[in-house]
Amino acid sequence: MHFLIYGLGAIGTVYGAMLKAAGHKVTGLARPSMLETISKKGLQVCGIWGEYAQIPDVLISSLDEAQDRDWDMIIVTVKSYATAEAARDIARLRPPECLLWLAQNGYGNFEAAAPYIPEDKILLGRIIFGAETQSPGVSKVTVIADDVVIGSPKNRIPLPVAEKWAALFRESGIPTRASEDVMKYIWGKIIYNSALNSLGAILEVNYGKLAGMDGSHELMIHVVREIFAVLEAIGQKTHWADADAYLADFYSKLIPSTKYHHASMLQDIQHSRHTEIDSLNGAVVALGRMYGVPTPVNETITLLVKAKEQLVTGVA
Ligand SMILES: NC(=O)C1=CN([C@@H]2O[C@H](COP(=O)(O)OP(=O)(O)OC[C@H]3O[C@@H](n4cnc5c(N)ncnc54)[C@H](OP(=O)(O)O)[C@@H]3O)[C@@H](O)[C@H]2O)C=CC1
Ligand SMILES: CC(C)(CO)C(=O)C(=O)O
């Protein structure tokens, strides 16, 4: 298959290198400043899935540079705040049957891409392995809590099609399965990230510390309860019956297995990068407003992260 990896950061580098190593054709889109390094040293992966160094078949910094555009799948691995811009760019050159897989965290990526890409060509994914950029083009796979789960939010793409792609990713070394309930998985991750990533970025501590300190422990309970109230209002089910069931798993299973992890949002702040707060706690607040559900704690946390982001980037 021919893949276009749209954004060669932590996640995109992993997919580009491992798909190339598995024998697929890979076109990589990166910032101009990264092209020389990647063309010489390849996309490099280290960590729990082993070592890879693979030079993409095609390396570009703009889609218009691509001569060979017979992509079978475009994997979008930019941050959620860049999804609409990426979808608009891709829509110009996407082959009619080429699928778009939004390999991203948060809520709103499907909604951001849908004005530009037909809904029956968009897959979403819940990614719950960790990848950290060590240097440009070098990504370390640090943890994995479960398979990647891919699917079509409104089942506009038949499950067997998603399963075909999941099998291809598994054969490339990335544990993946398909689901007809991908939004349950996406929301499960949003709850997890909205509780941990934002407070981890504000307090600059790992997940275990957040659970162990009374104040942050209590705040995360409020975050989760507000999210479940919003989910009830929009009619979105999750894999937990209610907030109490989620919180029981959260504090007994989900945090202990990642207690030393520092959220990627903290890494964004520390590297003076914009965060994805608007697709996490910020998205909860926006949905709460739309459906008349109060989300005061999520709103306060969102504003605190935005303030911290402005402090480090100098941009509102
Ligand atoms: N890293 C992780 O462990 C996990 C990440 N995720 C999610 O996966 C998604 C990707 O995350 P991650 O890989 O960490 O993010 P990164 O910021 O590391 O990667 C995004 C890359 O895309 C580049 N990019 C953005 N726009 C363009 C463009 N127009 N042209 C060329 N390059 C572009 C960025 O460059 P620049 O930095 O210059 O903008 C960056 O190199 C996010 O939604 C994240 O939340 C989910 C689970 C785990
Ligand atoms: C790496 C992982 C899965 C851990 O929370 C994550 O989602 C993040 O930090 O963004």
Give the nearest ligand 1 atom to 142 CA. Answer: 3
Instruction: Say whether the ipTM exceeds 0.90.
Output: yes
Of 227, 192, 225, 228, residue with least CA distance to 210 = 192
Which pLDDT score, from 0 to 100, does residue 314 have?
Answer: 82
Which residue stretches of the chain have pLDDT < 70? none
306 and 225 in a common domain: yes
Give the nearest ligand 1 atom to 13 CA. Answer: 13
Q: Is the CB of 10 under 6 A from ligand 1?
A: yes
pTM of the model: 0.97
CATH number of the domain that residue 223 is part of: 1.10.1040.10
Which pLDDT score, from 0 to 100, does residue 137 have?
Answer: 92
Whose alpha carbon is nearest atom 24 of ligand 1? 7
Which pLDDT score, from 0 to 100, does residue 36 have?
Answer: 97
Helix runs in 55-103, H state only:
83-91
65 and 28 in a common domain: yes
Domain closes at, from 179, 199, 224: 179
Burial grade of 233 (CB within 10 A; 0-12, 13-18, 19 or more): middle
Query: 28 has which bridge partners?
Result: 5, 59
Residue 71's domain comprises 2-179
Q: What separation in Å is there between the alpha carbon of 48 and the centre of ligand 2?
A: 15
Kindly list the catalytic residues.
189
Across the chain, which distance is largest between two alpha carbons, in Å?
57
Cβ(79)–Cβ(96) under 8 Å? no
- Considering every ligand atom, which ligand is closest to the CA of 75? 1
Q: Is the CB of 39 under 6 A from ligand 1?
A: no
Give, for ligand 1, the residue of 31, 92, 185 to mutate: max count of ligand atoms closer than 8 Å to Cβ: 31
Give the nearest ligand 2 atom to 192 CA. Answer: 5
104-120 pLDDT, tens digit per residue, is: 999 999 999 999 999 99
CATH number of the domain that residue 147 is part of: 3.40.50.720
